[in-house]
Amino acid sequence: MTIRVYNTVKRKKEEFIPVSGNKVGIYACGPTVYDYFHIGNARIFIVFDVIRRYLRWRGYDVTFVQNFTDIDDKMIKRANELGITVPELADRYIRAYFEDVEALGVEPADVHPKATEHITEMIELIQALTEKGMAYDVDGDVYFHTPAFKAYGELTNQPLDELISGARVDVDERKKHPLDFVLWKKQKPGEPAWDSPWGKGRPGWHIECSVMSTKYLGDTLDIHAGGPDLIFPHHENEKAQSEGATGKQFAKYWMHAGYLNINQEKMSKSLGNFMTVRDIRQKIAPEVVRFFMLSAHYRNPINYSADLLQQAQSGLERLNNVVYNLRDVLDKLPEEDGVSNDAAERLAALDAFRDRFIEVMDDDFNTADGLAVLFDIARETNTYLKNANPSRTVVAKTLAFFEDVGSVLGFFAPKEDDALDARVNEMIEKRQAARKAKDWATADAIRDELQEMGIILEDTPQGIRWRKK
RNA sequence: GGCGACAUAGCCAAGUGGUAAGGCAGAGGACUGCAAAUCCUUUAUUCCCCGGUUCAAAUCCGGGUGUCGCCUCCA
């Protein structure tokens, strides 16, 4: 069984075969660091974090590159508003990016290149395009000439003239073709600028990604990923620049996630209907946001609402509970193996679940189905844990299974907090004493107090258990 | 105008030819001092509508309806 991936450029699922053996290079367009990112952006980060983890888990040697756009119109405008320099602005929001993304369980990329650190390479690429007659200079601005690239429109699935007819923007008279786009922008007074053969200026948006992707991953990327609103013009333009310059295929697979909607409408900065991860983190565990994103297929649009997040939270709690219970039971189990007579059956079932997980994830990363597999194991595990004498091997292997699959989806990592543990244990002892004396009022008061501390206490047939909310 | 996506129970959602996964919420039961957690049972004769192909369709084809998106910066 091989992995199948939906390729935007082909508009269908294809077998995933990397360009070069076991190595997989993934480039994902990163944020423009002029503000906190919103939960629509977060979906992209989470989705491609899981895809990257999964490919690695399946044995591929993955290099994941995600850039920061740290120079463009929005950066300059925002820096001016805040009265700081563009690099200061970038620094502030790059730091915020890493904080928010860590909370969401997204691993840092292998390389996080910044646009401003690759100006030289961008100039070289623009020069190469100019020499090939695919780009032209008009008074310090350099444009890419779209008709010079025959396959222009392939990714968008639209011929050039159709793209023009729908255009909503006034055409710049200096351009040879309405869809020609800027590679190098002439400096305006007060703007940051770099020297170039065309005078002082700064790079256009699309050229950045062409340079930063191929610099770290080679001329042909295995996967180029990004948000769906980047397909046109950003990715179409990147493709034209890169393939125009190298004559080679730029990306073997183009992957795009679905939108995150709010009130049935795309969440976006320009519509102003966005919520940042920064804000939402105060109210809801970022882990729940992650679970919510993964509970639908990555290419389908999902609608965001407080109610849906609540549903996600309940679902995730169920899974977290079973993992918690496994750890708790394992702690208390004697070293020698229990005598559960269906141990062999349980271990075989675990293997079957693992196969199922791989099967659904191999099919274009179906995390919704992957989670369904976990819910099935959860039910069977909960039943098994009611066993008076569970096998230590079964419990340990089941826990290992959850942690292993969790390492792909980004859940179930153990958390340590010893100081709190001591305090909680003390309170539990007091409560047990009260219960023994049938002093239910005191017992319940202690339980309420723990609840305030974010600790949920349960009296199960197997004994007292507590967990952090 | 062109290109595209989506429509499955109260809600979320998987499933692309073989007779409707999973989760949340609800109901009943078991367990329990209570609560929580957990387990069992239960909730779609049916997958937006109308035609067609087929032994067989939620899945394929044609037509329609509705919602959303891209063709400007956006993930």
What is the rounded CA–CA span in Å between residue A27 and residue A66? 6
Closest CA to A100 of A276, A272, A305: A276
Q: Distance of alpha carbon A401 from its chain centroid, rounded?
A: 22
Complex-level ipTM:
0.96
Which residue has the least CA–C1' distance to nucleotide B2?
A162
Q: What is the arithmetic mean of pLDDT over A431-437?
A: 91
pLDDT at residue A340, as a whole number = 67
Query: How many angstroms separate the CA of A4 from the C1' of B74?
Result: 29
Please tell me whether the peptide bond between A233 and the residue prior to it is cis, using omega within 30 degrees of 0.
yes
| A452 SS3 class | helix
Nearest nt (C1') from A38 Cα: B75
Which residue has the least CA–C1' distance to nucleotide B13?
A296
Q: How far is CA A439 from CA A443, A447, A464, in A?
A: 6, 13, 17
What is the rounded CA–CA span in Å between residue A445 and residue A206? 61
> Two tokens at A87?
């690099």
pLDDT at residue A308, as a whole number = 95
pTM listed for this prediction: 0.95
What is the rounded CA–CA span in Å between residue A120 and residue A194? 9
> Two tokens at A468?
């952090």
Which nucleotides of strand B come closer than 7 angstroms to any CB of the protein? 1-6, 11-16, 21-25, 31-40, 67-75
Exposure string for A321-343, b = 16+ CB within 10 A, e = fewer? bbbbbbbbbeeebeeebbebeeb
> Two tokens at A57?
């888990």
Query: How many angstroms separate the CA of A358 from the C1' of B42?
Result: 32
Q: Distance of alpha carbon A322 from its chain centroid, rounded?
A: 25
What is the rounded CA–CA span in Å between residue A449 and residue A131? 73
Q: Is the pLDDT of residue A339 over 70?
A: no
What is the rounded CA–CA span in Å between residue A409 and residue A47? 9
What is the rounded CA–CA span in Å between residue A293 and residue A368? 9
> pLDDT confidence of A425, banded at 50, 70, 90?
confident
**Is residue A253 within 8 Å of residue A15, measured between CB atoms?**
no
pLDDT at residue A306, as a whole number = 93
Complete edge-to-edge strand list for the sheet that includes strand A135-138: A135-138, A141-144, A181-186, A201-203
Query: How many angstroms separate the CA of A171 from the C1' of B70?
Result: 19
Half-sphere exposure of A11 (CA within 13 A, CB side): 5
Question: How big is the CA angle at A301 (ends A297 and A303), to the nearest 5 degrees?
Answer: 110
Using one digit for the tens of pLDDT, what is the confidence trace for A53-104? 999 999 999 999 999 999 999 999 999 999 999 999 999 999 999 999 999 9
Q: Look at A194-198, A245-249, A372-376, A443-447 and tell me which has the smallest mean pLDDT.
A: A443-447
Closest CA to A432 of A453, A460, A459: A459
Contacts of A398 (CB under 8 A, 6+ apart): A326, A346, A350, A377, A381, A384
Half-sphere exposure of A26 (CA within 13 A, CB side): 28
Sequence length of chain A is 469
Nearest nt (C1') from A47 Cα: B75
Using one digit for the tens of pLDDT, what is the confidence trace for A231-279? 999 999 999 999 999 999 999 999 999 999 998 899 998 888 999 999 9
Nearest nt (C1') from A231 Cα: B70
Exposure string for A375-407, b = 16+ CB within 10 A, e = fewer? eebbeebeebbebeebbbbbbebbbebbbebbe
- How many beta carbons lie within 10 A of that of residue A176, not counting itself? 12
User: A2 vs A223, which has greater pLDDT?
Assistant: A223
Nearest nt (C1') from A457 Cα: B36
Q: Is the pLDDT of residue A288 over 70?
A: yes
